[in-house]
A and B are shown apart, each in its own frame.
Chain A
Amino acid sequence: MSNTAQPDLEARIAHLEMMQDLLLRLMSMTRPLANVLEQYGATRTQEQELLKFLDELCERARGPERGRPSRAHFEMHVGEIMPSLRGNKEFLQLLVDTLKVERPAYRELHDYMHKHWTTTSHT
């Protein structure tokens, strides 16, 4: 790589990153999680229940270690809220991935999941 190519590449990547951050911010305002749930046939009640559960997980992820959520608990509870999607790995993965582009509190939860559930999470 030439001496001029590297700074050029760095600048292009920095620009792409800036654009992507903007897109992520804009996307987080379009309620992507609600769209995913709708796409998978969730009712409004199920959506509300799931959001409440996620809020609870956010709190617990920030709390003492013994109370922190596990992937097994997450999957079991999501299965209880949406029985027709119980064990649907693709849906569960998309749910986790979508948190990354949701409101900041859920992004924090996504980071927790990524850090602690890495054996099964792809992001």
Chain B
Amino acid sequence: MRIDTPSTILDRVDERLKELEAHVAQMDMIQQLMLRLLSIMHPLSNVLAQYGATATQEAALLQYLDELAGRLHSLERRQQPSLEEFQARLDEILPALRHDLEFLRLVIDTLRVERTAYRELHDYMIEQNWVGRIASRS
């Protein structure tokens, strides 16, 4: 029976780790491609349609998101988007979904796979812990 020395075992673990790293890198590349392809399929519009939004409501929400994305770089602190304002404006645009925290969360999540301008807005929301604050309310 062959007995492996500690260094042989370590070499094997190293080798396997390298294989796993290559595997993860490949999955990461495919995921980036899927995200890119998904972003051109208007995922936010699909979510809104699924939740019964009209074309007018969709246009109003997209316009508001554009405005928010533009305000991200504002030097004035009070101009920067807040969760309270975001929720209030969504309630105004889509009154039927008022207080629907799952919908609110889904809108934020979907921005992650939307066009680049919205992805930056999504990063800001995550950085400001909007999702965690929504979860704590439910």
Task: Name A residues whose Cβ lies closer than 8 Å to a Cβ of B.
Answer: 1, 6, 9-10, 13, 16-17, 20, 23-24, 27, 30, 32, 35-36, 39, 94, 97-98, 100-101, 123
Contact = CB atoms under 8 A, between A and B. Distances in A.
Contacts, number: 42
Interface string B112-138: 000000000000000000000000000
Interface of B: 13, 16-17, 20, 23-24, 27, 29-31, 33-34, 36-38, 40-41
A111 to B, nearest CB: 13
Contact of A13 (B24, B29, B36): B24
A101 B29 contact: no
A36 B13 CA distance: 42
Contacts of A123: 29, 33
Nearest to A26: B34
Contacts of B30: 20, 24, 100-101
Contacts of A1: 13, 17
A24 B26 CA distance: 14
A13 B40 contact: no
A23 B41 contact: no
Nearest to B36: A94
Contacts of A98: 33, 37
A47 to B, nearest CB: 15
B31 A36 contact: no
Contacts of A20: 27, 30-31
Contacts of A36: 37, 40
Nearest to B38: A27
